[in-house]
Amino acid sequence: MTAPAPRPNGLPEPGTKRPLTLVLSLDVEEEGLFGGTYACRAPGVRNTGALLRLAPLLERGIKPTLFCAHSVLTDAPSCRVLARLRDDHGAEIGAHLHHWNTPPLTPEAAAAPGCMLTRVPAAAVPQEGMAAKLATLFQAAETFQGAPVRSFRMGRWDLHAPLWPLLGEFGVRCDASVRPLHRGRDSMAGPDHFDAPADPYWVDARATRILEMPLTVTPLFSWLPGLSGALPAGAGAAMQAGLRHWGALALLPVEHPLALLKLTTLLHASRGGRVLSLTWHSSELFPGGAPHVPDEATVTRFLDKMCAYVDWLAESFDLRFRTLEELRRDAEAGELHAQEAPAGTGDWTAPAGDEKPAAASARPATERAGGPWERPAREGRP
């Protein structure tokens, strides 16, 4: 007998569910964001108590990864909430860099009127200064955790290629800072993550390999990303910078209705996606914590939507939940395929070359002189 042909995209046999892994993460950070200003000193973190409102999702088996900012890790009430979620519900504690208020402050941040900034591009921070901020952040995380933390997310998805070797030097083993199909007009407007894979992949960060779990983003039509490469350089770059506004669907549940979350999931899975990366912010569980979360009713509707979404996932797929660290272990054990990312192809992976990371000289909490980070040149791209 002739063996049956393999099913496309790893489709399951009829009558069986497609396997799918859900990684749920939250940026645990100060309130008062999303209004165009960024507090450089003493940001409020009252919202962290609202993390306990995750209870209905935790009861469904979710173990969240909590990416915690320095302001949270150094706040005693917040640390008690984090410890409870870690110890009672298996939450993973990760590090989240808000470079504008993580010491040592840049001269611009220290002198900002009212200690508020209106622009905070990561590319404007000197490399050694960024390394010093990472040292402060990871020390605070280790003080809370009693051991080094291994998972990281950069604030505002603003991860540029020179950060990868530094993350490796600081012991990061998992990252979730990449937003595929996203590209800034230039490095000050944001990184180039446009060509990043949609599923987990390995990055060679020199000191170690880092498993990247990108945000789940899928194009509205599968041919759209390739179209940008067929256009003249300037037009292609402009299309890439704008595609996220009109041609890409992302699993950002605060922003989208349930129907759109389901559509994004189905498109991602039908195109071979095996892992979902879903995220929001701790302040979005706190009434008044963000301009788009004005009251208790808004938070309640959001949590009801998330419970309905997770229930739909469980009914539609062979669903399993993982923290980011657990996902890395699956990849290392061969239970999850993760491709190797080539170096020097965008900010979503490590730069090519032999530049020496600045982490070794980053321990003193003082800002050092240095030039702004530059995005590695990409042939054929401005």
Is 382 a residue whose pLDDT tops 60? no
Q: What CATH code would you report for 17-352?
A: 3.20.20.370
pLDDT of 353 reads 72
What are the tens digits of pLDDT across the range 143-189? 999 999 999 999 999 999 999 999 999 999 999 999 999 999 999 99
Q: Where are the domains of the chain?
A: 17-352
CA distance linking residue 89 with residue 67, whole number of Å: 16
pLDDT of 1 reads 45
CA distance linking residue 287 with residue 7, whole number of Å: 47
Cβ-Cβ contacts under 8 Å for 315 (sequence gap 6 or more): none
pTM listed for this prediction:
0.90
What are the tens digits of pLDDT across the range 16-33? 899 999 999 999 999 999
